[in-house]
Chains A and B, each alone.
Chain A
Amino acid sequence: MYNSTRLKYAIETLREMNRERGQISKQLGALRGRCQFREEVIDNLYDYYDVVSGDYYAVVDGLVRSTEAIEVLRDYMRDHHQVIEDQMERMRVMLDQPMKPSQSIQKLEKLTNFVFYMKNNQAGPTP
């Protein structure tokens, strides 16, 4: 005589394991999304760093002679300096928010706008 209780228990366990497996898959997907988003943000920051450091060294090393040109560069650096802390905080809030993979492009665009171009008029993330 077969043991139906054991079989029923095994089926229930399998169902439970499949449910758990599904949850882990979701978590894996979410983690992957977070990693990908961070990687793209890092790329963005590297680009920004390249632009600023290029201008910085051009001025500091004397490659730029024109006073007007240096004024323009000083002005944009000052503007960015005034808002960078605030923008980085906004970026951090955005990074810490849960995010669906489908939203990543849209969010990255927004983030590029306010991190790279330091545009204050862009709507920041809602915490």
Chain B
Amino acid sequence: MSEQPQASAPAEKQLPVPMTDAELRLYQQESLLLDDDYTTELRLQVTYYGEALLNRVKYEVELLEKEMVALSMVFNEFLDEVKVMDDKIGNLSTSINQGKLQAAKEVDQTIKQEVQTVVEQLRLLPRADLDGVEVLYQNLDALHDNYQVIEEQLKTLEEIGVKTEHLHKNMPALEKGLQQFGKSIEERQMTLLVGEQEKEEKVDYDALKQELTSMMISQRRAMINHLRQAQTMANPKEVELLRRNQTGFEKSYKQIMQQFELLKQSGLDLTELENDLQPIASGLSQFERALASNQFLKFTEKIYEEIEVVNEQIRDAQACDNFDDLEILRENVEALYENCDAFAEELEELENQGLNINSVIEHYEVLRVSVEQLERVVQDSSNRIGITSGTLG
């Protein structure tokens, strides 16, 4: 018996065997050779319609690609313009802020100088003759004119968004000084015209005492404002200004002390003056403590540190040229927004404690606007990188 061939195991799944290139070519040739006339005609029609469709689409794609290139160029031009403009806006903002600060400082100094001038004029008064009184009247007119100019300047400062409360606080002292000066000139003129020589000598010391008293009153008021500012002022950039004011107070205190010593020689009773001197002296020593206990200042210092971080991020975003860094910058924008929210909560807490947070809010707003600007710059960079790399996303 011959051996039965072993049955091969049935193929569970026969996969199609791929054709070789030669087999494929043969198949194609056979197809075309086997075509009847109708099929050949059909193939020719497919060739005609297919080529027309492909050419039409190819033409449109080429046109669109050229348009893309043109649009990208315009986009990049705009982007360059935006960069230049952002720089200009940044510089101008800084200049304006500095200008506002400078303007407020100058007006403040002008008011103090005017008060000082009034004090000096009052000092000259006891020695003035009739011609001198005439000159002093002219000076009084000039001081009145200056007072009006200062008022106009304060109004303008308010118009351009500079806070003037602390400047207004010194105005009553100037106004009172001018009134006092006017009255004193009249009295001096009267004395000169009546000619009471003996009385004049006595009035000299009294006037000096009077002058010193009014000077100390104005100093005491200014000192109260000064300390209040040190406790509530929220702008770290104004600390320098306050320190300068402090130096000014120290100088004035020395002058007061000199005059005080002079008056001691006259034998007048100076107990009241001595009592008035005490608050000024203690105010001078309280300045640093008031500054250290200023909660707002600490808060705005933190805000300014955050603004510095944001500005650095803006510079990074402007220089960014790849998607990885861009992703990090986007995450940073989110983190900075979260920090903003944390600041806002902290502010709310301060407000709930009954504190007036108006002076801090404007700094918080600067931070918020800066973060928004960062977000915009990141978006612009995303556009720029997308356009230049050909990956818009």
Contacts and interface: CB of A to CB of B under 8 A. Distances in A.
Interface string B12-37: 00000000000000011111101010
A52 B50 contact: yes
Interface residues of A, number: 57
Contacts of B82: 21, 24-25, 28
Contacts of B96: 7, 10-11, 14
A28 B79 contact: yes
Interface string B70-112: 0110110011011001101100110110011011001100100
A93 interface: no
A18 B392 contact: no
Interface range on chain B: under 10, 10 to 19, 20 to 34, or 35 or more? 35 or more
Contacts of B67: 38
A84 B31 contact: no
Given A10-B96, A65-B31, A71 B42 contact: yes
B327 to A, nearest CB: 18
Interface string B28-54: 111110101011001101110111111
A56 interface: yes
Contacts of A77: 45-46, 49-50, 53
A63 to B, nearest CB: 6
B268 interface: no
Given A7-B103, A74-B46, A13 B92 contact: yes
B92 A32 contact: no
A17 B79 CA distance: 15
B106 A2 contact: yes
Given A1-B106, A13-B92, A78-B49, 19 more contacts: A2-B99, A7-B103, A14-B89, A20-B85, A21-B89, A24-B78, A36-B392, A39-B68, A41-B64, A42-B61, A49-B58, A52-B53, A56-B47, A71-B42, A77-B50, A80-B49, A80-B53, A84-B52, A91-B60
Interface of A: 1-2, 4, 6-8, 10-11, 13-14, 17-18, 20-21, 24-25, 27-29, 31-32, 34-36, 38-39, 41-42, 45-46, 48-49, 52-53, 55-56, 59-65, 67, 70-71, 73-74, 77-78, 80-81, 84-85, 88, 91, 95
